[in-house]
Each structure stands twice: as structure tokens, then as C-alpha cells.
Structure 1
Amino acid sequence: MHRGKGMKFVGDSRISATKTSQIPKDYSEYPGRTEAFWPNFLLKEWLAGSVFLVGFLTLTLVHPSPLGGIADPTNAAFIPLPDWYFLFLYELLKYEFASGDYILLGMLGLPGLAFGALLLAPFLDNGPGRRPGQRPVAVGMMLLALASVVWLTYTSASHVDWEARAEMDKPIPESEVAIDTEHDGYAAYEASCMSCHGGNLEGGPAAPTLVGIEYTAEEIADIAVNGIGGMPAGIFTGSDEELEQLSDFIMSVNESTE
């Protein structure tokens, strides 16, 4: 024991008098930038999270999420897309090093490495400074991740025909048209057209509605045989009489809606 200013007391001879590992760091040189985690900081975070949660729940009640068209398993041309915030992962799977034989690398390896690096960033650069220039490792990793996400999202979105996709994703309205199943042309429609245009001629993801069209009976017959737009030729394979009955059936449905 030394008397005076350098006096030290040791209660246990096994504990070093100069051990400082249990002493918290001194943040007094950063006045106003620190606060107690409990309850000050945690209470602020809880209040901010509660306000966001209440606002989000209110938005879902006032404005429900819109639903797209009914899924059509017979439409092989339909390409599903994730929501915009997952487009960068969708674009990543188009590259050779993240697809094919390396699909697991694209699905799990690269995203796991990227998100794992972001989790480790605070531990790799744990300096006391808060300015970007004082934390080059963490800031550099965050900027690299942000630039990658923005570039991949932009690249993916630039290859999508959003106008055509908006039409494809529109909900299919329920038809109020009365269908005469006893009509001579209904059997031909059921055999050749119903799988794409629907049981009530309401259309679907792969075909437009046949209600409210402005074609003549001759034009409908020609389209059924030769196709139009995205509809290929050869869909209808019946006889000339059945073709005439089909076009007459579609015309009769449209005449009943006028």
C-alpha cells in the first residue's frame, strides 16, 4: 500500500491492481452524443417502431394490396417477376456465375456473403468517430452494396415491358353476361376457345375478353382460323359449319350486351 495520491487497495491478491478490462470507456469527450441504452435509447426506438407499425396497419386497411390476374397454368409465355425490392436478386440469377451449375451460389452464396459482410461491417470498423471519413471500411462496404443493388435493379427493370405487364396483371372482372350453353356454337367455343378466353368470354392473362368487341362474324371466323397478334393460327380445327356456329355464338353474346 502506498500512501498519497497513488494509493491503491487490493481486496484479493489474485486480482491485478492495474486491470482495466472491466472499466467502461470514457466518452466524456463526446458530450451530448451518448445516452443510457435502458430506458432512454430503447424507449425512443420502441416509440418510432410503434408509430411505423400503426401507420402501416392503417394503410393496409384503407388501401388493400391490388390483386393481379388469375394464374393460368396453360400460359407458358408468362414470366413471373418478383416485387421491385427483390428485382436485384432476380437479375443476379441471369449471370453465368450465378445460374446453371452455379445456381446455389447465386441463390445462397453471393447474397449470404453480401448480407454477412454488412453485418460484420460495424465490427470491422469500430472506431469511435461517426463521420464517414473516420469509418472508411463500413462506409465503403455500404456504398458498394447500395451501388450493386441500384445497378442490378435498374438493369432488370430496363428489360421489362411494364405497359404490357400492367395489362397482363389487371384483375379479371367477373362477367355479368348470360351465356347460352344451348347455342349450337357453344360446343365449338368450349373445345377451342374456353381455355384461354374463359367460360364467360371474360378473357384471361393469355387472351383478351370477347365481350364488347367490334368485329364482324366474318372477321371472328378469320381470326379463329388464322390468328391475330399473340394468338397463333390453327387454334380452331373444326369444320366450316362449326366455325360459322362459333362466330355466330360470339356475336350473339355481344348483341345481348348492347
Structure 2
Amino acid sequence: MKTENQKHIETYQNLIKLSCSGRTIDRYTSIVSKYLTTVGDPKAATYAETLKFIHTFKSQSSKKQAQGALMHFYKGVVHRPDLIPRLPKIKQAQKLPEILSQTEITTLLSSVKNLKHKTIITLLYHCGLRINELLNIQIKDINGTNRTLHVKYSKGAKHRMVPFSLDVLLLLRKYFKQYQPKNYLFNGQNTLKYTASSVRKFLHKEVSKLHIIKNITPHCLRHSRATHLLNNGVDIKMVKDFLGHFKIETTERYLHLTVQDLQNQIDQADTKIFTLQIAS
């Protein structure tokens, strides 16, 4: 016999599946489960208890996740409008991501020997994919004739079509011939799908081999791609659609990276210029 809170959780999962996917569903469900364990009866919970629960999370991003999870819960499962509008809007500190330069990306892609690893890194970068989007690629999502990838299970359950180059197509054909994947493009050794932890592990290893002193994650390849496209004159609205962003403001943060890249190059040039002046 299911308890009332178990029924709440089941309803909540069905609700957020309408707009979320993958790890987001797991994360939000975990937050609400923890909340229900803390307060007991959500219908009797107080505003003070709700705020106290949100503050049990350490980082601003995790507090924001907790806030969002509970807002969905109190809108769609247990109707408590008195809690929703009074939850404070938590601003998340914007941190510029680590990126690889165009030279570093070229060096990385040419140095990877394992074909599966090379294909994964290539798609993460060239298609600007999130790790969850990559792992959910099915063979039927790839159109070799039009050279497009149908990206599903994206953030916010938003689908998009992503074009890829002829070089990427040739790499995919080579990968297909050797690995002959079934259903999902990237199968694990003993699992239907490759895992995110495996991707992070081999990517860290490949970057370390090149003595690149940066904390590079799979998501950094997406950041790098966006920055390189903007640096090379691609319209920001096109980059927005390419990445699957809802708001142009999300894409605009990469403009800061292009400015920083310019500043770094100017600083390097100034070092040489003023050294020559002093020496002359």
C-alpha cells in the first residue's frame, strides 16, 4: 500500500517528465523526496520550514534547484499558492567556464587514438552537445544524407536539428564500421548506453596527456565550440539555435569569453612590444 507521500512523488515525476528529462528528473525527484521526509505532510508545511530546507543546500546553484523543484511541486501536485510567490528569487553567480583554444581543440582531436573516444569528443565539440544529449543519441537520429543530428532529450525537453560537417560524417562511418552500434550510438561495455562518468574519465586523461592545465569537462567542449563560432563571425542568433538556448542572454555570456580572449592576445603582444622598446 503506497503512502500519501509516495503517491505525491509518483505524481510529481509524471508532471516534470512533461518538461524535463534524464538527470534533471532524478535530481528534482530526489530534492522533493528529501523535502517530504523533512516536513512530513506537505499540506501542513510552513513557509519557515520550506525556506529552512532550501538553505540546507550549500551552493547557490543547488539552492536554485531546490527552489525550482518545490515550486513545481506546490503548483502541480499539492496546491499551496501561499508558499510559491514568497520563495525568494535566488541569483546565481555567473562563472565563466574553462574553454580550449582552437589550437588546443585541433591538437586534442588529432591526438586521440581510441576511435570511440575520438568520435565522442568530436561530436561533443562539433555539435555543441550536452553530455546527456550525446549519450541519448540513437542511430535513427542521424541523417547522413542531410548531415544533420536530431538532438532529443535536451534541457527543457527541447528538440533541435544540428548540422555537422563532411569530416564528421566520414568519422561516424568509420566508427559504425568498427563498432556496429545497436539502438544507441554509444554503447557501454556491459550497458545499453555509455556513461557520463566514463566520458569524463577518458577526456580528463586525454587532456592531461597534452599537459593542458585546465579543468576540462565534456561541457567545456560545448562552451569552446560556442566561443569559437562567435570568434569567427557566426551570428549570435544562429549560435543560440545551434546550442538550443531558450534565451539570447544565455548565449551572450560567450561574448565575454571572446573579449577575454582578445585581452589575453593584447597582453601577450604588449609584453613583446614593451620589451622591444626597453631593449632598444
The two structures share one fold, judged by TM-score above 0.5: no
Please state which band the TM-score falls in when normalised by the shorter chain: under 0.3
Of structures 1 and 2, the one with the larger relative CO (CA 8 A, separation 6+) is 2
When Rg is computed on C-alpha atoms for both structures, the one with the higher figure is 1
More helix by share: 2
TM-score by length of 2: 0.25
